[in-house]
Structure 1
């Protein structure tokens, strides 16, 4: 009897745990083309109306790109012309002169931190704020360029950590953490 109760509680626990995983159907336009990363992203960040792909973001000619990573990450590599915003202590003051109706694309390593930063920017009155789905990983997987601290092209990609670097192929470039 206790064994059956234990099995029942164990099954209930597994079902509850599974319901906490935020897997979702991701539109094909947001997929990175790398299945392991796509699976992780579907559980981690929203594929909603605020999500934008790397190719869509690249086409926004008037967009401002904001990097929601820490300075060390930004220094290794960032999107061309991106402004460093930061995450732990974001510098929103530097955005005071920006027209709040202008498109803003926020990114980080995979999109988790940038999704939260984008939400804050919308609260601050910016009306066209997008989270780069898959962030710097998706950008690089799409074959788009990165710059280093001197503004020169680089093949280095800051992966946040060794673990997070395992979600992208080695062909993405030189992984730094």
Structure 2
């Protein structure tokens, strides 16, 4: 009987973990209009140096942490002129907390003629949940992620939630 307990516990933990991921994936799928192609964190990671990354969250969120090298462009005040120095065929990755706000910015970029825009699937939450690094304003790694509010914060599974 004692030998059966550990495998059972492992199965239970595995089931709970996979259900949490499925729920995250279902939530993400329900948010997107899919007007901007998606890129997953594990596909973005190896090509970080060759793309332009735009963080579309608020300045407060950006200051807590962001993907290293990301350029801040506030969702609420975004204008295409802010990125006029970026060639329209450059690969541009947009992200926010989960990908909703960034999809709207991505649509504006596409409408302005940018031809290689992608939205980071799951936003910075998806990035951090995959175990990838974020940095603070000092460009040093941090575990903190601004989660917008408690409702959205439930989708960050790895990292320290900041409200």
- In the superposition, the TM-score normalised over structure 2's length comes to 0.82
Shift of 1:77: 0.6
Distance 1:82 1:49, change over 3 A: closer
Which consecutive segments of 4 or more residues in structure 1 shift more than 6 A? Answer: none
Q: Which of 51, 54, 62 is equivalent to 2:50?
A: 62
C-alpha distance in structure 2 between counterparts of 1:96 and 1:42, whole Å: 31
Q: Could you tell me which runs of 5 or more consecutive residues in structure 1 were left unpaired when the two chains were aligned.
A: 1-32
> Equivalent residue for 1:163?
151
Describe the SS at the equivalent of 2:114.
Answer: coil
Describe the SS at the equivalent of 1:117.
Answer: helix
Q: Could you tell me which runs of 5 or more consecutive residues in structure 2 were left unpaired when the two chains were aligned.
A: 1-19
> Equivalent residue for 2:88?
100
Does the Cα contact within 8 Å between 1:69 and 1:108 map onto a contact in 2?
yes
- In the superposition, the TM-score normalised over structure 1's length comes to 0.75
Q: Which of 131, 154, 162 is equivalent to 2:119?
A: 131
Matches within 5 A, 1:76-155: 76-155=64-143
C-alpha distance in structure 2 between counterparts of 1:55 and 1:49, whole Å: 18
- The C-alpha deviation readout for 1:90-117, integer Å capped at 9, x for no partner, is 1533311111111000000000000111
C-alpha distance in structure 2 between counterparts of 1:167 and 1:131, whole Å: 17
> Equivalent residue for 1:173?
159
RMSD (CA atoms): 1.6
C-alpha distance in structure 2 between counterparts of 1:43 and 1:95, whole Å: 29
